[in-house]
Structure 1
Amino acid sequence: MHQTWQKNWFGNIKGDFLAGLVVALALIPEAIAFSIIAGVDPKVGLYASFCICVIIAFVGGRPGQISAATGAMALLMVTLVRDHGLEYLLVATLLTGVIQFVFGALKLGSLMRFVSRSVVTGFVNALAILILLAQLPELTDVTWHVYALTAAGLAIIYGLPYITKAIPSPLIAIVLITGFVMYTGVDVRTVGDMGQLPDSLPVFLWPDVPLNLETLLIVLPYALPLAIVGLLESMMTQTIVDDLTDTKSDRNRECRGQGIANIGSGLMGGMAGCAMIGQSIINIKSGGRGRLSSIFAGVALIVMVVFLADWVSAIPMAALVAVMIMVAIGTFSWSSIKDMKQHPMSTNIVMLATVIVVVATHNLAIGVFVGVLLAAIFFAAKVGNYMHISSNISKDGNHRTYQVVGQVFFTSSEKFVESFDFHESLDKVTIDLDRAHFWDITSVAALDKVILKFRREGAEVNVEGMNKATATVVDKFGVSDKPDAIDRLMGH
């Protein structure tokens, strides 16, 4: 335990420090942009990013993961801010944190096991596309200098590692391009053009709203989606960082940590946030592995925007666009395109549906819900095909025994009924369920139907070999042993 603690905190100090600087520089314009999306002052997003970065380093379940203000969360705040103002947003942020903490305390993070790999891949690919699309405004209706600077930034980012990996190439790209623009005086859009940077540190700020049922009813419809989207994106990010670092996350601790971080953000005048796949990938690719990288990112961000505002304001957006294009390229699962030839059609449909819905709605929760729903439908249909019924008849031709093998539930119940010959003249029928499992009321209704149809034809029916779980469900929901069952089947 002590070894793990030391590794998570002090096992990679230099790498975490440099990666934290890169992340902080990339976070600044994003936090400002997300504040603008939500309709609040830029400092609300910047304060949120600082608070969440620092707090999550201590209480989160994934070292090396970056959490801050995000676009997915900002989109859900627009109506609340427009109709009720900043104070109600702060209350919603606090409630979001409480809900997330409760989710973690109830160990709901384990529900991520129901999200299939194809949904995760679709989610990641959609996010890569959204990150790329978010850069288009910075590359539209601009002078050729912007394209040249962006291309130069990409060249440095991808070329420098061949020479040295001592310092993260995105950091070098930002410094060199900023220096070039300041030296030459090229007129391009900079961070300062996005909004006024704050000139003071965040302070404790209790929302100035009445704490009553009316306020709760106003903020709850926003806090609940914020909590769910935040946890979904955080859990997805954990999956990606787990793969990149070949380590394991604590999902329930992450849920609780996100809740604590959002409560802290709300009390310091910040908006709700969550884990960021793009920034987490920047951190990992820049050498960040431990919890210090998140602290360095948060502290560097607040120091730069408050005390070095003049320098930060001079950073060309073209340099940061180059970094985000690198993130989009690195985030997209290029192997998923190649693997489409080998993967089943159902897997490809789930992945593509997730991508299309997320990109079309800009809502990660809806996309993941559609993906999980489709995956569940395809899985149920597939398992339903793994049921088989065989039979053999006695020498005198009056007794047939049916052997049922496999899973009987709503998708296979129709096939179950169709596998029996009700028109055969028999005195006795045995249905052997020793190698079968009945799951739901639909399957029990199908068994009832088979039994009652045979009885209507005058055959005696015996059901044998039910396991305990099947027997429990049949006893609870079955009707074939009721006196009026055949009358009901025939519609009398």
Structure 2
Amino acid sequence: MKVSFRGRYLGYSRQSFQKDTISGLIVGIVAIPLGMAFAIASGVKPEYGLYTTIIAGILISLLGGSKFQIGGPTGAFIPIIFAIVMQYGYENLLIAGFMAGILLFLMGLFKLGAVIKFIPRPVTIGFTTGIAVTIFGGQLSNFFGLENLEKHEYFFSNMKEVVMHLGATNSYSILVAAICLTTIYITPKLFPRIPSSLAGLLLSTVVAALLFPDKVATIGSTYGAISNSLPNFHFPDFTLDKIQNLIQPAFVIAMLGGIESLLSAVVADGMTGTRHHSNRELMGQGVANMITPLFGGIPATGAIARTATNIKNGAVSPISGVIHGIVVLLVLVLFAPYASRIPLASMAPILMVVAWNMSERHEFAHIVKSKSLETLVLLTTFLLTVFKDLTIAVEIGLVCSAIVFIKHMSQHLKMSKVLPDNFAKNDQVVAHTVNDEHNCPYISIYELEGPLFFGVADQFEKSIMDEIAHGPKVLILKMNNVPYIDTTGEANFTTVMKYFIKQGGTVLITEIQNQPLQVLQNIHLDEVIGKENFFDQTGEAISHSFTKLHKSQCLGCQHDAFRECQMRSNPTVKAVDHQVLEPTLVK
């Protein structure tokens, strides 16, 4: 018998709970080594990673916008958290995480979920690959068993430390790391149902403990014993100075958390055929990141790999994410003292594999091979992420992307002087018929294609002003292919129209779309132009334009630009001798 709930739990049954339990158990086991590894790599105690997995994991599942999202600490946060801890300290990391939670909640509240998705792909790939390189490089010291290295904020300085201490390589650490890495590689092929990272961690730990105890650094020898007690509630000491100093790192945490959580939700949608709620997801992430620091946890977001594992193992609802958190909690309470014996060399391969999988290497290579301006954006973001920091990398990457976008869009505004093609069907206006012999000195028709925005506003103004200099009496603007006008475009458009009208000219607007028309109406430019001078068809505007010319202006004209020209230039030609233009035919 099914138990009926609303929304995501509609039709939930005992069988559904069984599936969620199995999936939650597996994902929980997968999350344990990752939670500790991410915390250690971030420069904080391993139990803080477990606290985050428990608290944030449960809250993100219950409050988020995806049925299958698994939340917790992720590799993407490692360089950010490490830099904050190095520069500000652990206590201030908690404040920055809390502030990031507020920002995430506000992003969702003000429905900015869709906006975050529009961050350019080269920027996302650039900083993701840069983070992967940073994580991989940061584990070399543990892989080789190097001790007493001075930790630095920047990647280059840390790599210099590793190179300088390579002479003190610990062969036992390399052996332990090799065992773990090999196990991670072969486990999916031999035992696909067993979490490979957990298998590698357990096997390498047992080998180290039995064959060469005290020869490699462990979690316990480096960070002390892992407590099996639950975290205490502690409200961070907020001050105005701290808030001002931490607003930038908090913003970076919020942006990266929002991006990764929504990317993970999109992946989940693709695997299940469902649709997540972006704004609800951000609000759920926000609440989780506000509460987790109160118990000593680090920033959390949606974890793509764990979410995919959750789905592959049959998850039905957010209950699987709750169970995953409970599993980690039980392991913390029951087995925490044993975790202290895990060698750091066993943790290194796990993070190296995470870095390899998140590197987006194929997408990176594809964009590089394109040799376009996006390649420059990608490489700039990547190099700044690795050698400077993520904050600057994303800021400059977005600026570069904006410049590239403006450059591309500025090439999309096409302005063509056109005339009806008397040999074409329906006398369609085209550009190729305009030449010195076939033109009209009094009626100028321009067809505009593309958005009229700040990147092309000057180009538009210059082109129309150059045309006005030739002294036309009527200016017809065909605007059916102008989807958008921004404030700058509107200002330049207004300047040109008012100048032309002041010179005694008449402006006729044809086939204008809703957004540009609304802009002109908002500033009352439609009244300046004359509401009667807006037409649904260009043919109507052309016919109306002849009412603005004196008959004497057409006498003797040899340009023959319109069908009416022959009759107007030579009064002896009778109207019946010439087919008069049908206004609705010209488009």
Give the TM-score normalised by structure 2: 0.68
Corresponding position: 1:246 with 2:290:
no
Q: 1:56 to 1:145 in 2, by over 3 A?
A: same
Indicate the percent of aligned positions where both proteins have the same amino acid: 21
Q: 1:319 to 1:425 in 2, by over 3 A?
A: closer
AA partner of residue 440 (structure 1) = D
Residue 445 (structure 2) aligned to one of 395, 401, 411 = 401
Q: State how 1:87-166 maps to structure 2 within 5 Å.
A: 93-140=97-144, 141=146, 142-166=169-193
Which has the larger displacement, 127-136 or 352-361? 352-361
Q: Distance in 2 between matches of 1:266 and 1:8?
A: 32
User: Any idea what SS the aligned residue of 1:430 has?
Assistant: strand
Q: State how 1:231-242 maps to structure 2 within 5 Å.
A: 231-240=255-264, 242=266
Q: State how 1:9-48 maps to structure 2 within 5 Å.
A: 10-36=18-44, 44=48, 46-48=50-52
AA partner of residue 242 (structure 1) = V
Q: Distance in 1 between matches of 2:59 and 2:397?
A: 32
Counterpart in the other structure of 1:447: 493
Does the 8 Å contact 1:125/1:355 carry over to 2?
A: yes
Counterpart in the other structure of 1:2: 9
Q: Distance in 2 between matches of 1:42 and 1:175?
A: 16
TM-align CA RMSD: 3.7
AA partner of residue 476 (structure 2) = I
Counterpart in the other structure of 2:553: none
User: Any idea what SS the aligned residue of 1:434 has?
Assistant: strand
Residue 73 (structure 2) aligned to one of 68, 71, 87 = 68
Counterpart in the other structure of 1:207: 235
The unaligned stretches of length 5 or more in structure 2 are: 1-7, 147-168, 420-433, 529-587
For this pair of structures, how many residues does the alignment match? 465
Does the 8 Å contact 2:122/2:375 carry over to 1?
A: yes
Q: Distance in 2 between matches of 1:43 and 1:480?
A: 66
Corresponding position: 1:413 with 2:457:
yes
Which has the larger displacement, 321-330 or 367-376? 367-376
Higher relative contact order (CA 8 A, sep 6+): 1
Report how far residue 181 of structure 1 moved: 0.8
Residue 182 (structure 1) aligned to one of 209, 214, 222 = 209
Task: Give deviations 1:260-286, integer Å, cap 9, x for gaps.
Answer: 223332333x14412265xx4266459
Q: Distance in 1 between matches of 2:198 and 2:47?
A: 23
Does the 8 Å contact 1:49/1:67 carry over to 2?
A: yes
Report how far residue 60 of structure 1 moved: 2.8
Report how far residue 318 of structure 1 moved: 1.9
Residue 192 (structure 1) aligned to one of 210, 220, 236 = 220
Counterpart in the other structure of 1:487: none
Q: Distance in 2 between matches of 1:273 and 1:208?
A: 14
Which has the larger displacement, 414-423 or 401-410? 414-423
Q: 1:78 to 1:477 in 2, by over 3 A?
A: farther
Does the 8 Å contact 2:36/2:47 carry over to 1?
A: no
Does the 8 Å contact 1:197/1:306 carry over to 2?
A: no
Q: 1:478 to 1:73 in 2, by over 3 A?
A: farther
User: Any idea what SS the aligned residue of 1:111 has?
Assistant: helix
Counterpart in the other structure of 2:476: 431
Q: 1:110 to 1:401 in 2, by over 3 A?
A: closer
Does the 8 Å contact 1:390/1:404 carry over to 2?
A: yes
Q: Distance in 2 between matches of 1:424 and 1:97?
A: 58
Corresponding position: 1:54 with 2:58:
yes
Report how far residue 195 of structure 1 moved: 0.7
Q: Distance in 1 between matches of 2:97 and 2:246?
A: 9
Does the 8 Å contact 2:52/2:297 carry over to 1?
A: yes
Q: 1:302 to 1:31 in 2, by over 3 A?
A: farther
Give the TM-score normalised by structure 1: 0.80
Q: State how 1:346-385 maps to structure 2 within 5 Å.
A: 346-363=373-390, 365-385=391-411
Q: 1:358 to 1:453 in 2, by over 3 A?
A: same
User: Any idea what SS the aligned residue of 2:117 has?
Assistant: helix
Does the 8 Å contact 2:228/2:335 carry over to 1?
A: no
User: Any idea what SS the aligned residue of 1:114 has?
Assistant: coil
User: Any idea what SS the aligned residue of 1:207 has?
Assistant: coil
The structure with more radius of gyration: 2
Q: 1:310 to 1:271 in 2, by over 3 A?
A: closer
Task: Give deviations 1:11-54, integer Å, cap 9, x for gaps.
Answer: 35334323321320222243244354xxxx66555534432233
Report how far residue 406 of structure 1 moved: 2.2
User: Any idea what SS the aligned residue of 2:451 has?
Assistant: strand
Q: Distance in 2 between matches of 1:58 and 1:423?
A: 64
User: Any idea what SS the aligned residue of 1:118 has?
Assistant: helix
Q: 1:373 to 1:133 in 2, by over 3 A?
A: same
Report how far residue 133 of structure 1 moved: 1.8
Q: Distance in 2 between matches of 1:306 and 1:20?
A: 14
Q: Distance in 1 between matches of 2:470 and 2:281?
A: 64
Q: Distance in 1 between matches of 2:395 and 2:11?
A: 35
